[in-house]
A and B are shown apart, each in its own frame.
Chain A
Amino acid sequence: MWQYIIKRILGLIPLLLVISFVIFMFIHLIPGDPARLMAGKDATLEEVEEVRQSLGLHEPFVKQYISYMGNLLQGDLGYSIKSGAPVVDLILDRVMPTLGLTFLSIIWALVIGILIGVLSAVFRDKWPDRLGMLTAVSGISLPNFWLGLVLIQLFSVQLGLFPTGGDDAGWKSYILPSFALGAGIMAMIARFTRSSLVNTLKQEFIRTGRAKGLSGTSIVFGHALKNSLIPVVTVAGLQFGFLLGGSVVVETVFSFPGLGRLLIDSIQFRDYPVIQAEILFFSLQFILVNLLVDILYSYLNPKIRYD
């Protein structure tokens, strides 16, 4: 197992190098003069030069890359143009709300998604299946910003149960955004649980269980479900990217002070060091989660490790 984990981590190094290069190139890909763009329309020549100097854009390309990588390895992501604060601090301030939000979304996406999937598989081709799968395909098709706005209208404006936005109300301010964020993944998980469980229920050992006289509940929850959840784990991991992208939108809808809103605010202010760092952070998170999913998958399904 450890061998497999180490092999996987070493295998990521080239990918990480390429990604950090792509993200380093980010500022250089901006059409025109990035320093002028960041300094703003009304900036004087001196101000533009100041931005150029502070970002090191006057240095030769290779030197810029080396110092970028050096800083990166020391955890230095540069300074925000808008506030002058270190980018690392800005990001660390926003990490916890976003993590809480994504975590809560995944939790209830798993709980409700698996429940719908199990009901659909057990009552295959009957009305609970049709209803469950209709819910699932609707969940995939719902624009999460619209779902967020509908939830605000319903539960905040009409019923007054939850705040309309922000994160001042403790756990209450997490309920609606995490619901809006998790709906799509919930739907995916429901579909995969269903198809995976349907396949498992066709297998020999299930028939043996039935022949032995086990009850339906004990077959599904005691034997079949455990074997069906392996692909579900993979899907949940792969969909994590969807969650990261979604958090940008949902945080905007709910004025939620997380990483996603920071990204959108930074784009409006053309605060490129922050944008750059955020995209790096999002993709690192994505790669890390996929790695964890792979490891978990190989743990659950040892055949993979020896390929």
Chain B
Amino acid sequence: MMSKLQIETSTMEIPKVKSENRFLNFWRQFRKKKPALFSLYFVFLLLLTMVIGPHIVPYDPAEPNYNRLLEFPTLDHLFGTDEYGRDILSRIIVGARITLSVSVSAVLLGTVVGTVLGLVSGFFGKWVDKAIMRICDVLFAFPDLILAIGIVAILGPGVRNVIIAVAFFNIPSFARIVRGATLEVKEMLFVESARSVGASTTRIVWKHIFPETIPVIIVYFTMNVGTAILSAASLSFLGLGADPSSSDWGAMLSMSRDYIGSSFHLVFFPGLVIFLTVLAFNLLGDGLRDVLDPKTND
């Protein structure tokens, strides 16, 4: 039913996109989504910060300055200083690297494992599919953050274990999404023609089915990075993630919550940056979904 609809709509669209580069076509549509476009710029800015951050900070983020403890934001220190007199802006800039790399690598790990499981499950069907989907059911039976907390409780706190924990709850959702996409693609004519000219199973899955699922994967990857940042920050806030003395944004919040009331800027700025970053990934994900995966659109 679904696949028939899919074929119909795709044949309908063919005249419009005829002989056009797929990427250019995507970009033309995406450019019109202003919030998503701005978010894309913001994400690029964050990536740039990750790379050159430590070289552009106004102050040494680790250097205490006992003459300027807990200062409110001023022109010298735009975001103020913390309980050791360290510049909060500099710490946030440097912290982008650890915060983002933890979340992105966790989602990447979850995506790779989930995608492979989803492709295998959708393509082979039968007992393989059943077994993989049952495993996903079990993972789904634990609320996300509770699963992550449980994994960290077993493995111990720390950045590496947070990556594993957050990756884990990304696996089942990717497996299901990619499986769904695979089931749809599998029924399409070009897969059948590939099979009829004698292409091997691995070749069909890898060369024909996987590329068709990439748009969906990109959409959910982007959205899940936002969620992963929140989860990793929550774990750090609970004292289960990044080293509390590091400039990870969640860890910064965890250390500064004792100063709420007297020095609210300590809490305000790291949280604001987490919020804006997650917002950017979510808006970007929404925009990508509108363009790349229009059937789930409103």
Q: Which of B144, B271, B278 contacts A149 (CB 8 A)?
A: B271
Instruction: Decide yes or no whether B104 CB sits under 8 A from chain A.
Output: no
Contact A140 B282 (CB under 8 A): yes
Report chain B residues within 8 Å CB of A282: 142-143, 146
A198 x B298 contact (CB < 8 A) = yes
A241 at the interface (CB under 8 A from B): yes
Contact residues of A: prevailing secondary structure: helix
Is B283 a contact partner of A137 (Cβ separation < 8 A)?
Answer: yes
Q: Which of A62-70, A72-80, A208-216, A242-250 contacts B (4 or more CB under 8 A)?
A: A242-250
Q: How many A-B residue pairs have CB under 8 A?
A: 130
Q: Is the CB of B238 within 8 A of A264?
A: yes
B261 and A157 form a contact (CB under 8 A): yes
Check A267–B138 contact: CB distance below 8 A. Answer: no
Chain A CB within 8 A of B145 CB: yes
A195 to B141, CA, bound (A): 27
Q: Does A138 contact B (CB under 8 A)?
A: yes
Check: B237 CB closer than 8 A to any chain A CB. yes
* Contact code string A139-154 (vs B, CB < 8 Å = 1, else 0): 0111111100110110
Residue contact B144 to A242, C-beta cutoff 8 Å: yes
B279 x A242 contact (CB < 8 A): no
Q: How far is the CA of A137 from the CA of B275 in the complex (A)?
A: 11
Q: B267 to A242, Cβ gap below 8 A?
A: no
Residues of A within 8 Å of B, CB-based: how many?
Answer: 47
- Flag if A141 contacts B278 (CB, 8 Å): yes
Verify if B48 is at the interface (C-beta below 8 Å from A).
no
B 253-271 to A, binary, CB cutoff 8 A, 1 in contact else 0: 1000100110010011001
Q: Are B146 and A15 in contact (CB under 8 A)?
A: no
Q: With A26-B150, A149-B267, A194-B298 in contact, is A245–B275 under 8 Å at CB?
A: no
Interface membership of A296, Cβ < 8 A: no
Please tell me if B233 contacts chain A, counting CB pairs below 8 Å. Answer: yes
Report yes or no: B271 in contact with A242, Cβ–Cβ below 8 A: no
B188 at the interface (CB under 8 A from A): no
Interface string of A163-206 (1 = CB under 8 A from B): 00000000000000000000000000000001100110000000
Which 7 residue pairs are nearest across A and B when measured between Cβ atoms? A245-B145, A146-B271, A241-B143, A195-B298, A141-B279, A141-B278, A244-B143
Chain A residues at the B interface, C-beta cutoff of 8 Å:
15, 18-19, 22, 26, 29-31, 137-138, 140-146, 149-150, 152-153, 157, 194-195, 198-199, 240-242, 244-246, 248-249, 252-253, 263-264, 267-268, 272, 275, 279, 282-283, 286-287
Query: B residues touching A (Cβ–Cβ < 8 Å)?
Result: 134, 137-138, 141-146, 148-150, 152-156, 226, 230, 233-234, 237-240, 250, 253, 257, 260-261, 264, 267-268, 271-272, 274-275, 278-279, 282-283, 286, 298
